[in-house]
Amino acid sequence: MNMDKPIRRVAIFALLLFFGLMAQVNYVQGSQAEDLRTDARNSRQYSDVFNNPRGQISTGGVVLVSSTPTNKDNPKYGRTYKEGPVFAPVTGYFNGNASQLERAYNSLLSGKDKRVTRQHWFDAFIGKKPDGANLELTIDPRAQRTAYEALKNQTSAGRRGGAVVLDAKTGALKVAASWPSFDPNEVAPQTGTKGVKRLEELDQGKGVIKPLIDNALSQTFPPGSSFKALVAALGMEKLGLDESSSVNTGPLLLPESNRPLPNSHDSGQCAGTAPLKGAFAESCNTSFGRLALDLGIQQLSEGSEPYGFGKRVFVEPDFPAAVSDIPVSFTGADGKTVQTGRDGTARSGIGQENVRSTPLQMAMVAAAIVNDGKIMNPYLVQRARAKDQSVLYNADPKEYGQAMKADTAEQLRGMMRAVIEVGTAKNLQGRNIAGKTGTAEQGGGNPNARWFVGFAPVENPRYAFAVMTEGPNDGATNAGPVAAAIMAQVLKK
């Protein structure tokens, strides 16, 4: 029997397998190498840089994060966070894994990004590891510190607070503060197993307090009456209203339960009828419940999408904010899908029911009002530099979308000024801010989510903000002063 033919077949098959394997190896090491190395699920991308200096993160001339020698074999370099809890919502942490900017810009900070290796190809050729790039942020350090302390002082014990300030013309984040926070120094590489244990404790949290989940960008709350800014915009653009349109501010019985949707008061502009501007200034729930019913939950939900609701808003690559939402349907207690009914639609119109928002998202609503209806995509990194100070990346502000007409935005600016002049936030007169108050009931034994969302300065505004604190009472007295203190710092020259 001739054995040459089957042997040849086996040899050819083996050769094909060999070449297939070589092709796969080259494909993985070549075209897929960068994607695999930077994949968020690949923890080795972090552990292999413990023994090399990592780039700095700075803002306003202040170095927030730096690498320092440990005088140990492993890790050779630790990570030091200046005023760690103040800036943690922005910097995140680094410890064999990473969060926030430490994760989003890991390849640049570690020196493995192509923009670094291509520029320093000779270092790579001789086997020298390139130095990590340095990040320069948009954050105003004075305003960030003010926000942190103000949130700490105004938020009830054991509860949460968050604040965001945006440059409405560019999208640059000037403040992203959270209370409570955590200290990234406690989980840095040099802390070893102690840091790993501490990270696990922070991850578990206590009750609603999850320190690793910041309350500015990564947590949602019911926005309460601050949401009326968006509902008013939709009423103008979908129902043909303007600031002078007469609206019913009298009692409203919910269509399904026949229960009343109460106002905080039934006097003044909320006594029966009022122009939309007056109903907005005095925050008449019944008017905005009716507006929501006229719009319907579908149009209310879809109309919020140009502002960012219902989708992930990316602050930076691999750095998404939590999803804010006005759900058309939701999962009931029995696990079945339930459509938002007419009663729920009315309550959604005042930022209750299942409406949820991050402070970032409400700041984006205010930014549309400031910027003639246009929202710029929020961002944190102004530029990245190599160790030799050459610029590897420069922020290029991009338009997120046109959320409302310029005329609508102009009228809403006047309506927000009226809130301070004659409405629910007269206590903030003379503070050079304008905005909308909000006080949302959270149920389940949780205290109110208290909001103030608006802009500064009052004339020719440039900045949009949103502040939320949890506790008793209302947004005017427990979120408004926080916003005023923060904006006083932002507006300093």
> Does some domain include residue 83?
no
Predicted local distance difference test score (pLDDT) of residue 445: 85
Predicted local distance difference test score (pLDDT) of residue 2: 55
User: Does pLDDT of 4 surpass 80?
Assistant: no
Packing angle of the helix pair 406-421, 359-370 (nearest 10 deg) = 110
Sorting pLDDT into bands at 50, 70 and 90, what band is 36?
low
Check: CB of residue 79 under 8 Å from CB of residue 55: no
Whole-angstrom CA distances from 415 to 244, 428, 451 are: 10, 15, 17
> Does some domain include residue 447?
yes
The letter for the amino acid at 224 is: G
Better-scored residue on pLDDT, 47 or 58: 58
Predicted local distance difference test score (pLDDT) of residue 206: 80
% pLDDT > 90, the chain: 77
Predicted local distance difference test score (pLDDT) of residue 23: 62
> What are the φ/ψ torsions at residue 339 (nearest 5 degrees)?
-80, 140
Q: Would strands 448-456 and 173-179 be described as parallel, antiparallel, or unpaired?
A: unpaired
* Residue-wise DSSP of 220-237: -B--GGGGHHHHHHHHHH
Burial of 366 (0-12, 13-18, 19+ CB in 10 A): buried
User: Does pLDDT of 121 surpass 50?
Assistant: no
User: Does pLDDT of 12 surpass 90?
Assistant: no
User: Does pLDDT of 1 surpass 50?
Assistant: no
> Does some domain include residue 188?
no
- Tokens describing residue 369: 């009002």
- Torsion angle of the four alpha carbons 57, 63, 65, 70, in this order, in degrees rounded to the nearest 10: 130
Packing angle of the helix pair 406-421, 228-239 (nearest 10 deg) = 140
- Could you tell me the residue range of the domain that residue 360 belongs to? 224-379+399-490
The letter for the amino acid at 396 is: D
Q: Is 452 helix (H, G, I), strand (E, B) or coil?
A: strand
Predicted local distance difference test score (pLDDT) of residue 332: 85
> Does some domain include residue 410?
yes
| Chain CA centroid to CA 292, Å | 26
> Does some domain include residue 265?
yes
Burial of 205 (0-12, 13-18, 19+ CB in 10 A): middle
User: Does pLDDT of 477 surpass 90?
Assistant: yes
Sorting pLDDT into bands at 50, 70 and 90, what band is 109?
very high
| Strand order, beta sheet including 434-440 | 173-179, 161-167, 463-471, 448-456, 434-440
User: Does pLDDT of 323 surpass 60?
Assistant: yes
User: Does pLDDT of 266 surpass 80?
Assistant: yes
Predicted local distance difference test score (pLDDT) of residue 7: 72
Check: CB of residue 410 under 8 Å from CB of residue 372: yes
3-state helix, strand, coil in the chain (%, to 5): 40, 20, 40
> What are the φ/ψ torsions at residue 53 (nearest 5 degrees)?
-65, 140
Sorting pLDDT into bands at 50, 70 and 90, what band is 49?
low
The letter for the amino acid at 197 is: K
Question: At 472, which helix (H) or strand (E)?
Answer: none
> Does some domain include residue 318?
yes
- What span, in angstroms and rounded, lies between the C-alpha atoms of 67 and 429? 46
Check: CB of residue 222 under 8 Å from CB of residue 440: yes
Q: For the chain, what is the mean pLDDT? A: 91
- What span, in angstroms and rounded, lies between the C-alpha atoms of 177 and 91? 11
Q: Write the pLDDT tens digit of every residue in 155-214.
A: 988 899 999 999 999 999 999 999 999 999 999 999 999 999 999 999 988 877 899 999
Of 118-122, 131-135, 182-186, 284-288, which range is least confident? 118-122
State how many domains the chain has: 1
Q: Taking residues 80-93, what's their average pLDDT?
A: 98
User: Does pLDDT of 353 surpass 80?
Assistant: yes
Q: Taking residues 23-31, what's their average pLDDT?
A: 54
> Does some domain include residue 36?
no
User: Does pLDDT of 126 surpass 80?
Assistant: no
Q: Which residues contact 310 (CB under 8 A, 6 or more apart)?
A: 301, 304, 323, 324, 325, 326
User: Does pLDDT of 403 surpass 90?
Assistant: yes
Sorting pLDDT into bands at 50, 70 and 90, what band is 16?
confident
User: Does pLDDT of 42 surpass 70?
Assistant: no
Q: Taking residues 273-278, what's their average pLDDT?
A: 98
Check: CB of residue 131 under 8 Å from CB of residue 110: no
- What span, in angstroms and rounded, lies between the C-alpha atoms of 186 and 404? 45
> Does some domain include residue 47?
no
Sorting pLDDT into bands at 50, 70 and 90, what band is 101?
very high
Predicted local distance difference test score (pLDDT) of residue 27: 57
Identify the CATH number of the domain in which residue 408 sits. Answer: 3.40.710.10
User: Does pLDDT of 478 surpass 60?
Assistant: yes
User: Does pLDDT of 119 surpass 80?
Assistant: no
User: Does pLDDT of 30 surpass 50?
Assistant: no
Q: Taking residues 428-440, what's their average pLDDT?
A: 98
- Select from 227, 180, 224 the least CA-distant residue to 449: 224
Predicted local distance difference test score (pLDDT) of residue 112: 86
